[in-house]
Amino acid sequence: MIVGNRKSLEEILQLVKPYKKILLLGCRECITVCAAGGEREVGVLASELKLSRMKDGQDIDIKEHTLERQCDFEYIDQIKPFVDEYEAIVSMACGAGIQYTAERFPKKVVLPAINTTFLGVTLEQGVWSERCQGCGECILHLTGGICPVARCAKSLFNGPCGGSSTGKCEVNKETDCAWQLIVDRLKGLGQLDKYEEVILEKDWTTSRDGGPRKRIREDLKLG
């Protein structure tokens, strides 16, 4: 899933400072699962904003609304009937959702309440961890199912570097060394010989380096 963090209350207060009527828009997809911008978080942020503004004598009118998704116009359009009643939309979706909401309403100010961070997994209740950078050319079959692009601080294709120590990364002692994980897993699979294969220079054109990406499935397109 896409994982994000809510911005601090101070930062959001600063963003909404000029406005008296805002639409606080959550999303029920990934950002709900990672407990950053779902219905519950929309409610919490709305209360925090109202309380803070009330204390400053600057009351604010907030409409809370959470969509199925903010990455589909089909759902975004559900706010059409009332969006004009508000001066600004504060989106609690991921970066894609925030942008798509803005794209749908060209004359409406759309503000981000979420810092989108990574594609990851739930390690345990309240803990998420990065797994993928969407580089567009998966090599997990070569690396025992562990991605060095996303999980090595240097994205080394032929690691580990000299800073791998007792299974941890030199950058952060809390972070596992991806290459230690890869070696352990290859060993467990009886495939340590794969480690000896040199992975040559990566073609980054499938990654962000090739420019903004688009995927087209002709067979699914209508008309």
Partner 1 sequence: MKTKSNIERLLEAGKFVVTSECGPPRGADAEVIRKKGELLKGVVDAVNVTDNQTSIVRMSSLASCLILKEMGFDPIWQVVCRDRNRIAIQSDILGASALGINNILCLSGDHQSFGDHPKAKNVYDIDSIQLIHTVKTLRDEGKFLGGEELKGKPNLFIGAAENPFGDPFEIRAMRLGKKVKVGCDFIQTQGIYNLEKFEKWMEMVRDRGLHEKCAILAGVIPLKSAGMAKHMKKNVPGMDVPDALIDRLSGVPKEKQAEEGIKICVEMIQRLKEIKGVRGVHIMAIEWEQKVAEIAKASGLLPRP
Question: What residue ranges bind partner 1 (CB under 8 A)?
Answer: 153-167, 170-171, 177, 180, 183-184, 192, 195-196, 198-202, 204
> CB count, 10 Å around CB of 211?
8
Structural tokens at position 37: 């911008």
Q: Which residues pair with 6 in a beta bridge?
A: 114
Minimum CB separation from partner 1 for residue 117, in Å? 16
Q: Give whichever of 125 and 172 is closer to partner 1, judged by the CB atom.
A: 172
Residue for token pair 């609690």: 92
Minimum CB separation from partner 1 for residue 15, in Å? 22
Q: Give whichever of 56 and 203 is closer to partner 1, judged by the CB atom.
A: 203
Q: Give whichever of 105 and 157 is closer to partner 1, judged by the CB atom.
A: 157
Cis peptide before 160 (omega within 30 of 0): yes
Q: Give whichever of 121 and 199 is closer to partner 1, judged by the CB atom.
A: 199
DSSP letters spanning 30-87: HHHHTTSSSHHHHHHHHHHHHHHHHHTT---EEEEEEES-SS-HHHHGGGHHHHTT-S
Minimum CB separation from partner 1 for residue 207, in Å? 10
Minimum CB separation from partner 1 for residue 128, in Å? 21
Minimum CB separation from partner 1 for residue 210, in Å? 13
Q: Give whichever of 47 and 158 is closer to partner 1, judged by the CB atom.
A: 158
Helix or strand holding residue 32 (H, E):
helix 30-33
